[in-house]
Amino acid sequence: MISLTLPKSELAKFNRSINNLSKKGKQKINNEIQRSTLNVSHDAKSNAARSSSFLASKISPDIKKMEGTVTANSNYAPYVEFGTGNRVFKTSKHNFTSEEKEYASQFKGKGLKAVNLPSRPFLFPAFFKERKEFLKRIQKIYK
């Protein structure tokens, strides 16, 4: 299972900055969080469908007040995202960031099987794409 959200330190900083906003400003921020969560979910499903329609069906958004998470609820989702064996992080279309590599380390196997599948990232590219747009929209609210 893969689940994406902002790191806790960034989330705490974000929450502190929201406290200074009016009720209307807070509602605008909440709307943007919902919008971005749905956008990430939609793009991730679209990306995953190229590999597996079953995997795409396991991607879902979870929206709460001032919080959004997108989860790929499948045991094999991380192995599609990052690859396996000597093909981990091997793709011609996506350059993996240190953030992704750090996250992927929790799924490292014990080397018992020689299964070498290429990475087919679907969730992180959707997240990084939307994060840029989300930050632009949030900056407009603060102005």
Strand locations in the chain (E): 2-4, 59-64, 67-72
Could you read off the pLDDT of 77-109 as tens digits, one per residue?
998 998 887 778 776 577 888 888 888 888 876
Residue type present at position 117: L
Q: Which residues contact 106 (CB under 8 A, 6 or more apart)?
A: none
Q: Which residues contact 130 (CB under 8 A, 6 or more apart)?
A: 36, 39, 40, 43
Average pLDDT along the chain, 143 residues, taken 10 residues at a time: 68 80 90 96 95 93 91 92 81 78 79 76 93 90 79
Domain ranges of the chain: 2-142
Tokens (6 digits) for 53? 């329609």
